[in-house]
Structure formats: C-alpha cells, structure tokens
Structure 1
Amino acid sequence: MKRKEVSEIKKTFNPTNCCISRICSCYVDSEKNKRTELKEAFLSLPEEETFKYFNIFKSALSGSIGKNMVNMKFPLFTEEEGGTQNFLLKLRDSQLKDDALIEAFYDKVIGSYDYGENYYIILIHCAYDIPAKSLDGLEMYDASDFVFEFIQCTICPVKLSKAGLCYNSELNTIENRCRDWLVEAPDTGFVFPAFTNRNTDIHGLLYYTKNPEQIPERLIDELLGCKIPMSAKNQKETFQLIVKETLGENCNFEIVKKIHDSINEMLEETKDESVPFTLDKYQMKKLLEKNGASQENLKDFDQRFQESQVDEFPVFMASNVANTNSFEIKTSDVSIKVAPDKSYLVRKQFVNGQSCIVIEASGHVEINGIAVI
C-alpha cells in the first residue's frame, strides 16, 4: 500500500464516510484471561464512543511507510486450507458474525502476543465502496465498480491512570482522583487484505507498529504467517556497513558527505510521490560510483551485498538509511549537528598540522544564548 491508499482508507474512519459494519473486541488481563468481550454493529455504539474508536483506528494507520507501516506478503503455503492467510480470509468473509472464528482469533492473539500487561484487542469489519476517479484525478462518489471489504485489528495497552488530585464540581472540592483503566493508542495492528492500487490484494496486508524496533516477531509469525522484514534500524546499519566495507580506505569525509547529500536530494525530489523512494542493489551501486567510489572499490560490491543478506530484502527505504533531520558529525569528544541542506558549511581540513572539522560561522553566533563576535 502507498501513502495515498493509506490516507484514503484513513478517511473512512469518521462519521460522514464510515464504512465500518461491525466491531468485536476482547479485554485481556496480564494473566492472559479474557475479561470482557464486545460484539455488535459499530453504529449502534454511543456517538461519544465511536469517536474514540475512530481515533484508535486512525492511529494504526499513522507514521511512515517502511517504519511504522510495513507492507507484508503471505508465503503461498499460508493460503492453503488451515494456513494463516486462509484463516484471516475466512474471518473477513464472515463479516465478524461467526463467534467460533472470532474466539479462535482471540486465542491466536493471546497465545502469540508476548505482552505482560493488560491489553484490548479490537476487530472491525469494513466495506468501502471505492469511488471511481475522473481523468483529472477527482473522486466520483456516485460511480463505483468495486467494494474493498477488509478487517482491521488493533491491539491497545490498557493501563491504570496516574494518581493525583481532581476538582469535584458537584461538591466544589479538591479531592483524590479515582484511578481508571485507560485504553491507550495501539501498539500494533494490521489491515487485511491490503489495498493495493486502490483494490483488494488478498496476498498481502499492511502491518502497523508503534515502535519499529520492538516488532512482536512471534505474533507476526504465528498469527499472520508473514516474513518479518528488516527493521528501519537494521536497514540503516546494514546500509552503513556496506558503504564502509565497499569504500574501505577511501571511506573519507567528503565521499560520505556526498552520499548523504545525494540521498537527501533524491528524497526531496520525490517527497510528493505516493511511492516511497527506495534503493535496490543497482541504485546503491550507482550511488557509490557517482559519489567517488572507484571501480576497484566496487568490484566485490555484488558479493558483499549478497553476503549482507540484503538479497532477502532487495530494497532499502531511503528515509530509513538517511538522516533527514540533521547532518551529524561525531568524534570521540565532540558531536556536531547541522541542517541536512547545510552540510556544505562543514568541511574537514588540516590546520597547523592537525586534522580538524571546520565550520563556516558567518552571521550571528551564540554560545549558551550569549551573542559573541
């Protein structure tokens, strides 16, 4: 799924465009016991509750594609009878009206989700009447040929509110506040099937994680059956390792700075595109060659790329391997950060026989808030 497709589904989570037909949920305590369950038509809930649920569903479609939202594909064997994809397809097709399937789903989550505290599993069934688009890209809501029928699962931590004082308006007093168990924003979840090219793709799903570095591997493996992709952190570390090993002794300040600048330039050029900018093996090789890697450096690049096991994950998300917030230089004693588009202000040169990092300091200069000359 692309950014525009995610946004399109996200827009259905409001009262005007609501396509949610049914909601089922289960509150699980820290001992993995089912404490309470909900099964009913979504629009039969009180209006105040539906707004809070909308916020939860939108939260599980937020963040960056490739970090918080990851497109996953099902291995073929999972689509056979008894496979994980086959089970999810049956769950969707039941429109969440088959109690046995719902209970089996809860049991699968509880059995594979390693979380030592209370949490709330929410399942919704949706039927989105996909509006056609005119030649100029405008949506025509009165013209639709397809319906995207999907389920979304969100898993939310449930935590006790903090102790404190509150104002009692009835008694006009300040008193101890009652502590409640609060449903927080989701930690993880998924949309199945995927909404690819604005249509149903039963061979994939969109997975969400609040923390990209804490992916529940067992849940993905046992509940979804999808191959776990390389995390954003691992992508960055693998990319950096390939650059260092390829350049070898030529891994100098200027070449690395040029690589950083080139990636950020490409990200800026593609920022309005719906598909995130990625680097495959060929593009990465061209990037290194363009910015100073010699043919001698690159002669073992293909083998090095394969040895890093990147062949299982054939592309890097450019936003995962580049620092789009700052250009950072570190020594053993000093850390320097500048805006990514101002890297030209920093250079490395010899001063009085010493290798130094030199920063152009024209205009206003402050030290701890004090303007200096």
Structure 2
Amino acid sequence: MNKAETLEIKKQFTPERCTIDHICACLVDHEKNKRLVFKKAFRQLPDEQMYKYLDIFQHTLAGTFGKNLISLEFPLDQEQPGGTQDFLLTLRDSHLEEDEIIDEFYDKIIANYINGENYLILLVHAIYDIPGVSSDGIQMEDASDKIYDYILCSICPVKLSKAGLGYNESKNDIEERFRDWIVEGPSKGFLFPAFIERDMDIHNMLYFTKKPDDLQPEFVEAMFGGMAPMPAPEQKNLFDALVQDSIGDDADYDIMRNIHDNLNDMIEDHEGDPEPLELTKKDVKQLLADSGVPAERLDYFDQNYERTVGEEDVHLLATNIANTKKFDIETPDVVIKVKPDRADLVESKIIDGRQCLVIAVDDHIEVNGINVRTFMNK
C-alpha cells in the first residue's frame, strides 16, 4: 500500500463515512489474563465513544511508510489451509460474529505480543463500497462496482492516569485526584487485506508500529507468517557503517555533505511517485560514486556491502537512511545545526594550515537571542 491508498481508507473512520458494523475488544492485564471481553454493534455506541474509537483507528493508519507503516506479503505456504492468511480470511469472513474464532485471535496475540503492561485489543469489521473514479480523477460515489471487505486491529496500552491534585467542585476543595485506567493511542495494529490500486488484495496486509525500532519480529512471524523487514533505525545504522567502511580514511566533510545532498535530491525527485524509493546495492554504490568517493575505495564496496548489509536483495528505504530534517556537524567542543536544504552554507577550508568550517553569513547573526552586526555592516 502507499500513502494515497492508506489515506482513502483512513478517511472512512469519520462519523459520516464510517461503515464499521461490529467492534470487538479484549482487555489484557500485565499477566496475560483476559480481564474484559465484549462485542458490540458499532453504530449503537454512544457518539462520544464512537468518536474516540474512530480516532484510534485513524492513528493505526498514521505514520511514515517504511518506519511506522510496513507492507507485508504473505508467504505462499501461509495461504494454504491452516496458514496465517487463511486464518485471517476466516476471521474477516465471519464478520466478527463467531466468538470461537475471535477468542482464538485474542489468544494468538496474547501468546506472541511482548508487553509487560495492560493493553486493549480492538478489532473491527467494515465493508467499503469503492467509488468509481472519472477520467479527471474525481470520485463518483454513485458509481461503485467493487467492495473492500476488511478488518482492522489496534493494540492500545492501558495505563493509570498520573497522580496529582484536582479541584472537587461539589466540595469546593482541592483533593487528591482520582486515578483511573486510560486507553492510550495504538502501539501496534494491522489492516487486512491490503487496499492496493483501489482494490482488495488478500495476498498483502499493512502492519503498524508506533515505534519504528520495536517491530517485534516474533509477533509479526506468529501473526502473519512472514519475516519482519529490517527496522528503520537498523537500516540507518547499516547504511552509516557501510559509508564509513567504504570511505575509510578518505572520509571528509565535502563527501559527507554530497551524500546528504544527493540522497535528499533523490527523495525529492521521487516525491510524486506512489511507492517509496528503495535503494539496491547498485544504487548505493552509484550514490557514493556520485558523491565523490574515490574509485579505489569503491573497489572494496562489494565486500563491505556483503559484510555490513549481508544479502544483495536487501533494499534500503531512502527515507530511512537519509536525514531529511537535520544536518548536524559536531566537534568535541562545537555543534553546528544547519537546515537540511542549506548544507551548502557550510564549507571546509584550510586556513593558516588548519582545517576550518566556514559558514556563509549574508544577513544577520544572533548571539544568545540578540542580533549582532555582520562584517558587511561594520
């Protein structure tokens, strides 16, 4: 799935568009006991409750692709009877009306989800009439000829509210505040089947994790039968190690700035494409070459790649390995923070025999919040 496809489904989680028929929930305590289980007709919920649930479902489809939202494809063996895809299809096709399979679903999550605190499992079923689209891209609500029959699961931490003082209006007094259990936003979740090219795709699903470095590969494998992709922070660490090993002693500021600029240019050029930009081994090597890494150092690239990344078919998501929000330069005593698109303002020069960083200043300088005159104004 891509951003546009996810947004189309996310828009269904509003009171006006909502087509959810059933909601099921299971509250699990820190000892993996089921403390509460319920199943309700979604439209019969009080409005305030419905709005809160819809907000949770929207957040289950929020985040950055490759970091928080991960597309997963079922292995072929999991599409056979008894496989994970077969189980999820049976769950979806039940429209959440069969308690036995819902309980089995809860048990699978409880057995494999790593969490030492209380949490709430939310599961909903909905059918979306997919509107047709005119030649100019406008949706035609009355021209639907396909449906998207799906389930969405959200796993939310349940924590005690913070201790503190509060005002008791009836007693007109300050008292210790009552602490109750609060359902927080989702930490994990999934959408099945996937919604790809505005159609239902039972061979894929979308997995959500609030923390990119906490994919829980064992949970992914148990629930969906496939290997979890490399987490975003791990991709960044591997790329940094690969660059360091490939450049070796020839690393300098200009090369690193070029890598930063070229990588961000690639992401910007790819911005209009529906699918995220992935870099193969060949792409990474070309990136280093275009950034000024000497040819003799690139002769070691293949062995560095094999040692650092491993398999050649591993693809690195460009947004996972690039710093699109910062460009930081650090020395033992000085830290320089530059807007990521203005790295050109800082140059490396040899002055009086010493390597120096020169920062171009064309307008004004602030020191501890106070404007000071630049050289040109003196």
TM-score range relative to shorter protein: over 0.9
CA RMSD of aligned residues (A): 1.8
Q: Is the 8 A contact 1:230 1:313 kept in 2?
A: no
Say which SS state the counterpart of residue 26 (structure 1) adopts.
strand
State how far apart, in whole Å, the 2-side matches of 1:356 and 1:284 are. Answer: 29
State how far apart, in whole Å, the 1-side matches of 2:2 and 2:136 are. Answer: 19
Deviation at 1:170, TM superposition (A): 3.7
State how far apart, in whole Å, the 1-side matches of 2:325 and 2:217 are. Answer: 29
Per-residue CA shift, 1:311-360, capped at 9, x if unaligned?
Answer: 37632221111111111112233221100111111111222211222222
Deviation at 1:274, TM superposition (A): 2.8
State how far apart, in whole Å, the 1-side matches of 2:93 and 2:87 are. Answer: 10
User: Quick one: structure 1 residues 74 and 116, their matched pair in 2 at CA, closer, same or farther if it must change by over 3 Å?
Assistant: same
Deviation at 1:310, TM superposition (A): 5.2
Pairwise mapping of residues 166-315 of structure 1 onto structure 2 (< 5 A)?
Answer: 166-309=166-309, 311=311, 314-315=314-315
State how far apart, in whole Å, the 2-side matches of 1:305 and 1:270 are. Answer: 24
Deviation at 1:5, TM superposition (A): 0.5
Amino acid at match of 2:299: K
Aligned residues: 373
Say which SS state the counterpart of residue 329 (structure 1) adopts.
strand
Say which SS state the counterpart of residue 241 (structure 1) adopts.
helix
State how far apart, in whole Å, the 2-side matches of 1:333 and 1:58 are. Answer: 44
1:352 corresponds to 2:352: yes
The aligned residue for residue 376 of structure 2 is none
154-163 or 311-320, which deviates more: 311-320
TM-score (norm 2): 0.93
Deviation at 1:169, TM superposition (A): 3.5
Q: Is the 8 A contact 1:154 1:186 kept in 2?
A: yes
User: Quick one: structure 1 residues 153 and 313, their matched pair in 2 at CA, closer, same or farther if it must change by over 3 Å?
Assistant: farther
The aligned residue for residue 91 of structure 1 is 91
Unpaired stretches in structure 1, ≥5 consecutive residues:
none
Deviation at 1:288, TM superposition (A): 1.9
Say which SS state the counterpart of residue 311 (structure 1) adopts.
coil
Q: Is the 8 A contact 1:74 1:227 kept in 2?
A: no
Deviation at 1:280, TM superposition (A): 2.1
Per-residue CA shift, 1:264-315, capped at 9, x if unaligned?
Answer: 1222233343322222223222222222234433334344334434537632
Amino acid at match of 1:146: K
202-211 or 353-362, which deviates more: 353-362
The aligned residue for residue 329 of structure 1 is 329
State how far apart, in whole Å, the 1-side matches of 2:201 and 2:152 are. Answer: 14
Unpaired stretches in structure 2, ≥5 consecutive residues:
374-378
The aligned residue for residue 72 of structure 1 is 72
The aligned residue for residue 131 of structure 1 is 131
Amino acid at match of 2:332: S
Percent of aligned pairs sharing the same letter = 47
Deviation at 1:138, TM superposition (A): 0.8
